Chain A
Amino acid sequence: MLKRAMVEAKRVLGLHSPGRNLAVFPDDTFLVSFPKSGNTWARFLIANLVRPEQKIDFSNVNSIIPGPEVTSNRALIRLPRPRIIKSHQYFDPRYPRVIYIARDPRDVVVSQYHFQRKRKLIVDDVPLPAFVDRFIAGQTCFYGSWGEHVASWLATRHGQPGFLLLRYEDMVADTPRELAKVVAFLNLDATPAQLVQAVERSSADTMRRLEKSQAQQFSSTKNTRQDIAFVRAAKAGGWRESLPEASVLQLEEAWGRWIQWLGYELLSAETARKLEVRAGQVPPDVLVGPRT
């Protein structure tokens, strides 16, 4: 009862975090990804770009590119417009403009595994393959499975105006080039020097250093295990060393079509051949859900 009254009081005062109930404005841009796909790095990059006079760190990034799950409704409404808002939501028809970051699910699952250890959501001795099972079933977070998430956005919005697709791997390989796409998409006035500065101020080393001193000032690192870093490998393709082959094959079997579509090479020649054979056929095979 008291808890309920507190919730209501917070709502009335606008102190609650709206999450998926966020009020969307027509000039909003959303920075969307499945969790553990480089969203925080992208927030640093973009925030450093739109605020070149201010160094972005873990204590201020959420006030510039807020996440509706951890920001009060009042703060979100008071944010200067046009707003850039971080989101992990699966397709939301109300989002007018979207920057979507995709990342190879074989890396995402490893990243999420370590992040959930850090947050004490799983214990250290949960075997990675068991985590992969739950990951494929969409049970490791509240945003659907990786495949459902990617399909919900790409099958509806890719190729439409107001949608920019970025791959985490491309951002790692050539950060200034990918950030330049964001500059064009957001119609920003950024000099080449400002672009370089944003990349430097958001480097993995810089972010690791900031994380050390500011872990308690950022929602994703607050009250988590400090022996596991939030800014972890910050690279692409780590799955080749850390993910058991059986798990790789499982992920490719579940989402091979989307993995290929995004330009990631399949390890399994067999899955690749199956997809090849089905290529001439129609939809069911590109759909995401488990088969009957």
Chain B
Amino acid sequence: MYPPKRNLKIWPDDVYLVSFPKSGNTWTRFLIANLAHANETVGFENIHRLVPDPFVTWKRDFDRMSRPRIIKSHECFEPRYPRVMYIVRDPRDVVISQYHYHRKCNKIEDGYPMKTFVERFLAGQTCPHGSWGENVTTWLTSRHNDPRFLLLRYEDMVADPHREMTRVARFLGVPADGDRVAQAVERSAADRMRKLEKAQADKSSLTKDSRKELSFVRAAKSGGWRSELSEQFAGQIEAKWGHIMTFLGYALATRDAASAEPELASFMPSGPR
């Protein structure tokens, strides 16, 4: 009755749902759980059992789980993961989401300077999973275009969850008929998740020991940074990770993608010799 963490025994048919934190991982867990377990009512109280987290779910529950398992993770590149669905999200939105989440978790107080938070975010000091750029880079450089890897963008999922979930279903090899996908999307809608959160906040480690007046399911949209993030901070993020953002199709607002240093057009660091 303890979480196995990194000592989890990995099976060759495991599939991992990986992302940097605050990139839509919980929403995707709901979507997948609703798709794979159409007969269960998926909520905050059972999500750790349906799409388990090795840092939360007990080892005993892992041992009893039916296979193939779909496992949640925020880790940087991990060669032992046999198959991976990786969700990326625009870091300009991620930083805002993480800021509010840290307020909710009492890690920072209200009014904590965004300037400081952005600096810590860029330095990879806001969570134990590397910086956004490190996390994304380690996965893309090692697994992109590999048949064992499915890249999802949070923004695409918001824009057309049905289409993206059909890709997920195909990757997982679960039935992808329209009704079934539509039902999963509906059951994982932001409004519904907000309702479930209200009713089950005390029953899930995701929400249990945090401020109840701040919602875990927040805006659930993309592009909020345009109104909430000052140009200075967006510029800092783009200066550091513009090359990755361009690769992922996120348009830069404060600099020209083409004029960003040419070597940043690739993930290759500027050469040593």
Report whether B79 and A90 are in contact in the complex, using a CB–CB cutoff of 8 Å: yes
B11 at interface by CB-CB < 8 Å: no
Report whether B76 and A91 are in contact in the complex, using a CB–CB cutoff of 8 Å: yes
Report whether B268 and A93 are in contact in the complex, using a CB–CB cutoff of 8 Å: no
Report whether A289 and B145 are in contact in the complex, using a CB–CB cutoff of 8 Å: yes
B167 at interface by CB-CB < 8 Å: no
Report whether B137 and A155 are in contact in the complex, using a CB–CB cutoff of 8 Å: yes
Report whether B6 and A144 are in contact in the complex, using a CB–CB cutoff of 8 Å: no
Shortest beta-carbon distance from A6 to chain B in Å: 15
Report whether A286 and B141 are in contact in the complex, using a CB–CB cutoff of 8 Å: yes
Shortest beta-carbon distance from A138 to chain B in Å: 6
- How many residues from A make CB contacts under 8 Å with B? 36
Q: Which has the most chain B C-beta neighbours within 10 Å: A93, A158, A282?
A: A93
Interface residues of B in 256-273 (CB under 8 A from A): 265-273
Report whether B140 and A262 are in contact in the complex, using a CB–CB cutoff of 8 Å: no
Chain B residue with minimal CB distance to A263? B273
Binding site secondary structure of chain A: loop
- Give complex CA distance A74, B53 in Å: 29
- Give complex CA distance A168, B134 in Å: 25
Shortest beta-carbon distance from B272 to chain A in Å: 6
A127 at interface by CB-CB < 8 Å: no
- How many residues from B make CB contacts under 8 Å with A? 37
B178 at interface by CB-CB < 8 Å: no
Chain B residue with minimal CB distance to A165? B272
B16 at interface by CB-CB < 8 Å: no
Q: In the complex where A151-B141, A284-B145, A289-B146 touch, is A145 in contact with B79 (Cβ < 8 A)?
A: yes
Q: In the complex where A283-B265, A283-B267, A292-B147 touch, is A158 in contact with B272 (Cβ < 8 A)?
A: yes
Interface residues of A in 70-102 (CB under 8 A from B): 90-94
Report whether A93 and B130 are in contact in the complex, using a CB–CB cutoff of 8 Å: yes
Report whether A282 and B247 are in contact in the complex, using a CB–CB cutoff of 8 Å: yes
B12 at interface by CB-CB < 8 Å: no
A57 at interface by CB-CB < 8 Å: no
Q: In the complex where A144-B142, A289-B142 touch, is A152 in contact with B77 (Cβ < 8 A)?
A: yes
Residues in B whose Cβ lies below 8 Å from that of A92: 76
Interface residues of B in 133-153 (CB under 8 A from A): 133-135, 137-138, 140-147, 149
Q: In the complex where A21-B6, A144-B142 touch, is A156 in contact with B265 (Cβ < 8 A)?
A: no
Residues in A whose Cβ lies below 8 Å from that of B145: 284, 287, 289-292
Mark each residue of chain B from 189 to 217: 1 if its CB lies under 8 Å from any CB of chain A, else 0: 00000000000000000000000000000
Chain B residue with minimal CB distance to A158? B269
Chain A residue with minimal CB distance to B131? A93
Mark each residue of chain A from 248 to 292: 1 if its CB lies under 8 Å from any CB of chain B, else 0: 000000000100011100000000000000000011101111111
B173 at interface by CB-CB < 8 Å: no
A209 at interface by CB-CB < 8 Å: no
**Of the residues A21, A151, A283, contact of B142 by C-beta under 8 Å:** A151
Q: In the complex where A20-B6, A156-B138, A288-B142 touch, is A257 in contact with B268 (Cβ < 8 A)?
A: yes
Chain B residue with minimal CB distance to A170? B273
Residues in A whose Cβ lies below 8 Å from that of B273: 263
Additional A-B contacts beyond A156-B130, A257-B268, A289-B144 (16; CB < 8 A): A90-B79, A93-B124, A93-B128, A93-B131, A144-B79, A152-B76, A155-B137, A261-B271, A263-B272, A282-B247, A282-B266, A287-B141, A287-B267, A289-B142, A291-B145, A291-B146
- The 6 A-B pairs with the shortest beta carbon distances in the complex, nearest first, are A93-B130, A144-B79, A289-B146, A158-B269, A151-B141, A148-B142
